[in-house]
Each structure stands twice: as C-alpha cells, then as structure tokens.
Amino acid sequence: MSTRRSPLAMALLSLVCEEPMHAYRMQQMIKERHKDDVVNVAQRNSVYQTIERLRRDGLITVRETSREENRPERTVYQPSDAGRETLRRWMREMLSAPAREFPEFPAALAFLPVLDPGEARAALEERVAALRARLAGLDRDLTEGAKFLPRLFLLETEYMRAMAATELDHVRGLVANLAAGEVTWDYRL
C-alpha cells in the first residue's frame, strides 16, 4: 500500500525515526523547532489522523502504551523498516520534483477582476506591509538561529525568506502598475 505523502506525514515519520515518541511530543517538537511554519500542526486532530494513517499503512508501529497516574494513556510510536525507506523516498521526491500546489495568492490573482482596481490595489498594499513584517521576522529568526544552530537547520527559513522577498518585489511592482493605470479592468460585479 502506498501512503499518501504530505508535509505532516513526512514530519511525523521523520521524528519517530529520530527516536520513538508519542503524538503530543511530536506536535510539541515541531513547534519547539519552529517547523510549524512549514508543517501545519495547529489542529491536534490532524496529527492523530496522520499517525493513524501511518500506522495503518505499516510505516510506524506501536512501541508501547503506558498510563501515568492522572494522565491520559500515551502510545509511543516507532518507525518500521518500510517507514524508514518510505521517508527516504519521500525526501528524494520532495527535493527533486516541484509539486503541483495550489496556494491561495495565485488563485486570488487569477480572479483579481472580482474587485475594482482601487480595492485590489488597497488589498495588495496591505499585503506589502504584511510581507515586510514577515521578512523582518524571518531576518530575526535567521540572525538569532545562526547564533546556536548550524546552517543546515535554517535552510527552510532561508528559503521562506527568499520566497517572501521575491513575492514582495512582485507585489510592489503590481501595486505600482495599478497606481499608474498600466494594469486595469472594467469592474462589473
């Protein structure tokens, strides 16, 4: 059976390959390591559903189940041999081949005429401000992280910074084009 690859499944499988652990610890480690910028763990239920899928597909197994006094039962998971190989395959695929993803922003650009040009420009100006703030935060993360982490553990932050900077340049240009009337349309909605 081929398990559907996802960033969350990859992250959880990666963590149990590091060391056996329970679901709550996996979620906490993702947050502690600031990997929640690249893996959505906001909904604890999605973590448990993904763990169940990995278990059902034989990529992780139950190492032990324990219950401490006044605490909920905790199931500790470990990878199977198939899980280790699947993780390596997923990583090779994710690194080598661009995925067909459907982020919201390009979709919004595709349907820009739903707004009048002035409304679109105002919304894009808000995005410029948000991107500037995001870049400042990523710069802080990189500066602080470089004090105690090898670059290897900052690569995704470097990538996110490059993508945000490129997006900021593009959106600034689009705002300028809208302001100059170089991009316009008849609003009819």
Query: What are all long-range contacts of 53-62, with beta carbons under 8 Å and residues at least 24 apart?
Result: 53/3, 53/4, 53/9, 54/3, 54/9, 54/12, 54/13, 54/83, 57/1, 57/3, 58/1, 58/82, 58/83, 59/3, 59/13, 59/83, 59/86, 59/87, 60/12, 60/13, 60/16
Provide the 8-state DSSP code for 34: T
Quick one: tokens of 19?
């060391």
Which pLDDT tens digits describe the chain residue by residue (189 residues)?
577 899 999 999 999 999 999 999 999 999 999 898 899 988 888 999 999 999 999 999 999 998 777 777 889 999 999 999 999 999 999 999 998 888 999 999 999 999 999 999 999 999 999 999 999 999 999 999 999 999 999 999 999 999 999 999 999 999 999 999 999 999 887
Cα–Cα distance for residue pair 45/51, rounded to 1 Å: 10
Question: Which distant-in-sequence residues (6+ apart) come within 8 Å of 123 by Cβ?
Answer: 115
Query: What pLDDT sits at residue 44?
Result: 82
Question: Which distant-in-sequence residues (6+ apart) come within 8 Å of 117 by Cβ?
Answer: 178, 183, 184, 185, 187
What is the pTM (predicted TM-score) of this model? 0.85
Question: Which distant-in-sequence residues (6+ apart) come within 8 Å of 72 by Cβ?
Answer: none
Cα–Cα distance for residue pair 139/158, rounded to 1 Å: 9
